[in-house]
Amino acid sequence: MPSVEPLVVVATAATAGESRPGAEGEQQESGIRSSWHDLYAPVVSQSDDDITRRTRLAAERTWLAWWRSGVAAATAAVGVGGVVPQLVSGGRTAYAVLGAGYAALAAAMFVGAAVRRRGVERALDSGGFAAVSDNAVLALTLAATVLALGTLAVIVAQP
């Protein structure tokens, strides 16, 4: 039995008899344009409600990313500050200090997530935009960099 592939036709808002200058090769029948562009690159129209919904969902995904970062930092805190000192001889204090630093970074990520989410929701409600504070980005970046380099230093210095 021969296979039959479906034909997809995209109807546009054209009306019968409407023409566009320079639209060569188009056939207009019953308000349907059949040019290559109209068939394969349909016009996408989104309502304001749909755009707002999608923006809120994107904001939620960003909030969850902040949380994932906080959970990762908390996991590092447990590993570096709690598990590793049990496995190494000497130098436990350095690991405990680093573990406390990772725990503080985790707490900052959780608080930052809540503050950011609140700011984004307020901005969306008023139709505005909420930029991330440059100071917050710098502070978190510096904290994470110091902890990463500190961890590297302690690992390299370990006999």
Q: Which tokens hold the place of 116?
A: 């950011």
Question: Helix (H, G, I), strand (E, B), or coil: what is residue 28?
Answer: strand
What are the residue boundaries of the structural domains of the chain, listed by start?
1-45, 48-157
156, pLDDT greater than 70:
yes
Q: Write the pLDDT tens digit of every residue in 12-66.
A: 444 444 444 444 444 445 555 555 555 565 555 567 777 888 888 988 999 999 9
Chain position carrying tokens 């496995």: 87
Instruction: Cite the DSSP H helix spans in the chain.
Output: 36-40, 48-78, 84-87, 92-126, 134-157
Mean pLDDT of 115-139: 91
Q: How far apart are CA 94 and CA 84, in angstroms?
A: 11
Q: Which tokens hold the place of 26?
A: 């188009």
Exposure letters 6-33 (e unless 16+ CB within 10 A, then b): eeeeeebebeeeeeeeeeeeeebeeeeb
Residue 17 confidence (pLDDT): 46
- Is 1 or 119 the better-scoring residue by pLDDT? 119
Q: Write the pLDDT tens digit of every residue in 117-128.
A: 999 999 988 988
